[in-house]
Amino acid sequence: MASAKKNDRNYLVYRGKPLVRSGDTLYYGDMKDEYIIMLQILDTTKKHGLEIASRVMVTLMRTDESLNPLERIVKTGEKDGLYPAIDIATVWLERALAAK
């Protein structure tokens, strides 16, 4: 299992890529790369006093800001839970970046 750590800029890093949270949205990947992943927490459940993501939308998108926001979206999917979402996000991102 890959470990999460912090880099010099205090971003959480997962499998060598930054993982940044803004509210219920997480961004996975480096903005300098051609693609990133956006993870949107759609629904949560309460377990042991903690809010746990129960539904997560995964979106592979281009980082090219000159494109229309809809044109930037390459692939989307929905997963039950954060772990399955980040798991598929990692695969999508690795494949997209390798296909250059």
pLDDT digit string, tens, across residues 55-72: 999 999 999 999 999 999
Alpha helices in 1-100 (DSSP H): 69-72, 82-98
73 CA to centre of own chain: 13
- Residue 99: its pLDDT value, please? 87
- Structural domain tally of the chain? 1
Could you tell me the pTM of the whole model?
0.85
Specify the 3-state DSSP secondary structure of 94: helix
CA distance 44 to 67: 32
User: What does the pLDDT average to over 21-44?
Assistant: 95
27-36 tens-digit pLDDT? 999 999 999 9
- Residue 100: its pLDDT value, please? 66
- Residue 8: its pLDDT value, please? 54
